[in-house]
Amino acid sequence: MGLQALLESGLRADQEVSKPHYVRQKERLRIELVNAQFDLQQARLPVLILVSGDDRRGINAVVQLLHEWLDARYLDTTVAPEPSQGDRQRPPYWRFWAALAPRGRIGLIVGGWAAAPIRSRLSRELDDAGFDAYVSHAARFEQALAADGALVLKFWLHLPRKERKRRLAGDRPEADGPWQMLDSDEAVRENWDRWVPLADRLLEATDSPLARWHVIDGTQERVRNLAVARLLLTGLQRLLARRNPRPASILRGRRNLARTPNALAAVDLAMRFSDNDAYAEARDKQQGALARLTREAREQGLSTIVVVEGWDAAGKGGAIRRLTRGLEVRDYQVVPIAAPSQEEQSYHYLWRFWSQLPRPGQMTIFDRSWYGRVLVERVEGLARPEEWERAYTEILDFESQLVGQGIVLLKFWLHIDADEQLDRFTAREKTPYKKYRIGADDYRNRARRADYVTAVNDMVARTSTRLAAWHLIPANDKRYARVAVLRTVCGALRKAL
């Protein structure tokens, strides 16, 4: 049976559940759910529950039931109504990443990314292509979380059309008082013929082995409550039985390593300034232009993200400092990325980057970035092959959402050769205020340069797109690299403005 047929039938149960049977089942399920929740907390496993659908009263009742049957202290609930003005200034999925619960807790999202695109399509805020793009991001969002080990449990609560008419007409008295019709109920009724195909498209596009939809009829409340509780308990028990819940993802990056071009080999490392006067003149010119462009970006609400990656001692910090000297303090933030903190390890690896997105008109500069997943974590074995393999696709989706929101995204790799790197290591050791910036790890990483070259070339080949291309900067001459970064940022801002 197709998903549209499921919506029309509402998965109706043939028999009602008696009250004594319901009470017995309720007590047993409550005990087992709380026990599973405690085990979940101890094992630090992530759970995400999405409750959405067209049965508003049923959604409210299920949320209340989960708060009653579970230990609410370890249940993080987010209701996702119409996005706020602040939400609209960022990529749509920013607010859903922000709502994720850490490992060991249960995150409960009401409405969420299932309700939002239908509501926006009905109001014509989204066209057909926009709706499909939103839903496509939803599928990748869910699968990224599930592949990272999360239990993604989705309930679609449906009220059949005839039952809806009876309730809205007041033909069916409710145990807790008369049915209160809201604008959202009227909107579903008036737009039923448009609403059902949209729901069908959404459910079909986002139903996957890692994130199944459970369509539940809301006509019989006891049947509905027991169905939700049993499905949740089964999901928690399976997650706990796995204990190391990181299944192979169906999201894969393009794997064609045999023909990956050697992009680094094509970088002309001989590029340099002839003297300091020529460098200073070019630097000052670009910094002046950047100051004007960022003021205009602030006025227009244009946000910018600059990613600075490169070899150890390639001059990332120096390039960033030359950028920020052309900016007002209020217009930028620099985010240095190191090993994830204990809190950050409680989430999907992209979470900490979503949380650092710039406000409208601001520039955020990442000193290293989400590409650590396919660089250091890959080379050093901190991520398993299936984890860094799927990261290419996850990163492409992340960046497409940034660019789709109108954010200017620039990615730089500062490239130096092995001899220049060794010279800079030696110079750091001899400079008192730079000694802290060199250690055994730097030399160990240098010894694996061939592995990093392979990883960088794969990264460039698989994540350089028309809208978010990699800029490979010759950095044997620090002065040339600094001006090249400034010039590229200015050029991108001019084009965007």
Inter-CA distances, 161 with 78, 168, 219, 473, Å = 28, 11, 11, 61
Among 187, 189, 205, smallest CA distance to 122 is for 187
Token pair belonging to 183: 């604008």
CB-facing half-sphere around the CA of 461: CA atoms within 13 A: 18
Kind plus residue range of the DSSP H or E element containing 414: strand 408-415
**pTM (2 decimals)?**
0.88
Q: Are 107 and 99 in contact (CB under 8 A)?
A: yes
Taking only the tens of pLDDT, the chain with its 497 residues reads 445 555 555 455 446 788 888 999 999 999 999 999 999 999 999 999 999 998 888 999 999 999 999 998 899 999 876 777 777 888 999 999 999 999 999 999 999 999 999 989 988 999 999 999 999 999 999 999 999 999 999 999 998 877 777 776 664 444 444 444 455 556 666 777 888 899 999 999 999 999 999 999 888 899 999 999 999 999 999 999 986 544 444 344 444 444 568 999 999 999 999 899 999 999 999 999 999 999 999 999 999 999 999 999 999 999 999 999 989 999 999 999 999 999 999 999 999 999 999 999 999 999 999 999 999 999 999 999 999 999 999 999 999 999 999 999 999 999 999 999 999 988 888 777 666 667 777 778 788 999 999 999 999 999 999 989 999 999 999 999 999 999 999 999 999 99
Polymer length of the chain: 497
pLDDT value of residue 186: 61
pLDDT value of residue 374: 98
Among 1, 3, 105, smallest CA distance to 53 is for 3
In whole angstroms, give the CA distance from residue 351 to residue 338.
14
Name residues whose C-beta falls within 8 Å of residue 419's C-beta, 6 or more positions apart in sequence: none
Residue showing tokens 């991108």: 492
pLDDT value of residue 351: 97
Among 213, 192, 221, 255, smallest CA distance to 58 is for 221
Dihedral sign (CA 308, 312, 314, 316): positive
